[in-house]
Amino acid sequence: MSLKIYIDGKLYDKEDAKISVYDHGLLYGDGVFEGIRCYVGKVFRLDEHLDRLWDSAKAIALEIPMTKADLAKAVVDTLAVNNIKDGYIRLLVTRGVGSLGLDPNKAARPSIIIITDSIALYPADWYQKGLDIVTSSVQRMPPAALSPRVKSMNYLNNILAKIEASNAGCIEAMLLNQKGEVAECTGDNIFFVRKGKLCTPGPDAGILEGITRNSVIELAEKMGIEVCQTPLTKFDAYVADECFLTGSGAELIPVVKIDGRVIGDGTPGPITKKIIERFHKLVRE
């Protein structure tokens, strides 16, 4: 059976799900989105994702033509019609169909798209062995240019860093901000463990505050692990005892090498493993 895609209140077979070439989301990346996970039939932290979606939309003067309650129901209904219990949701709001010009006022009405599908960002054994990543020469977009807190459909900054990672034989890259501080990776937030303390860049580093990131911080604090959100540099990355990435798609995945430098003993560390175990329990509660 073909997957059903939700577009503006109607369900379409995957092969027939189309948007106009005049949609400003396609023409200019003018829109916002969320990547959300579903576990054992329950959408993980849907309210938080919708709150962030609304914040992103408001920040770019985009009015979502549905209530949060109605959009939440549409997400759940789309999962149900596709019989997905464990999967991934891509929720998009585009500026809508307009003219061949930047003026958003020429777009008649925003469009809402809901895609539900399976996802596997990394091979299963990498979660056991860990990733090698590199530092990208591409800087994270500075907040003065475009706030990284807006989860927009324009991901060119991240894509360019992803290309560098691929050219270096890695699947992920770490981006620095304009001050040379660690910000985040192309699609994930980053954490380091040093002397039993869990450290991650704070919001002022120019990051998107991930839903999974915030969940991990809450879990760590409940586990009695000290958490610091603080400016970090490549020095902190190189001397870390452990490192892992977080994201809705990736969940939690260890990092064992950065720029060719071994992190800790080159294997996923004990604190990383404990947090991963607790996270897996959390999403299935």
**How is 145-211 classified by DSSP, letter by letter?**
TS-TTS-BS--HHHHHHHHHHHHTT-SEEEEE-TTS-EEEESSSEEEEEETTEEEE--GGGT----H
pLDDT band at 285 (very low <50, low <70, confident <90, very high): confident
| CB contact set of 107 (below 8 Å; sequence gap of 6+) | 24, 30, 95, 96, 97, 98
Query: What tokens were used for 256?
Result: 């064992």
Residue 81 is predicted with a pLDDT of 97
Contact 25, 31 (CB under 8 A): yes
pLDDT band at 238 (very low <50, low <70, confident <90, very high): very high
Contact 219, 251 (CB under 8 A): no
For the residues 265-276, what does the mean pLDDT come to?
97
What amino acid occupies position 167? Answer: N
pLDDT exceeds cutoff 90 at 89: yes
Contact 274, 223 (CB under 8 A): yes
Alpha helices in the chain (DSSP H): 24-28, 46-59, 68-81, 126-129, 156-167, 211-222, 234-238, 270-282
Tens-place pLDDT, residues 101-159? 999 999 999 999 999 998 877 888 899 999 999 999 999 999 889 999 999 999 999 99
For the residues 33-41, what does the mean pLDDT come to?
96
Residue 15 is predicted with a pLDDT of 96
pTM for this model (two decimals): 0.95
Cα distances (Å, whole numbers) of residue 161 to 176, 183, 230, 251, 275: 11, 13, 23, 20, 27
Q: How far apart are CA 263 and CA 108, in angstroms?
A: 51
Range with the poorest average pLDDT among 13-22, 114-123, 164-173, 235-244 = 114-123
Q: Is the dihedral of CA 24, 29, 32, 34 positive or negative?
A: positive
Contact 25, 94 (CB under 8 A): yes
Q: Is 33 helix (H, G, I), strand (E, B) or coil?
A: strand
**Domains parsed from the chain with CATH numbers:** 4-117 (3.30.470.10), 126-282 (3.20.10.10)
Please identify every residue annotated as catalytic: 151
Local structure of residue 104 (DSSP, 8 states)? G
DSSP calls for 52-64: HHHHHHHHTT---
Helix (H) or strand (E) holding 242: strand 242-247
pLDDT band at 283 (very low <50, low <70, confident <90, very high): very high
Contact 248, 43 (CB under 8 A): no
Q: Would you call 126 exposed, middle or buried from its count of C-beta atoms within 10 A (0-12, 13-18, 19+)? A: middle
Q: What are phi and psi of 129, to 5 degrees?
A: -95, -30
Contact 201, 195 (CB under 8 A): no
Q: How far apart are CA 110 and CA 153, in angstroms?
A: 14
Question: CA nearest 276: which of 129, 127, 169, 157?
Answer: 127
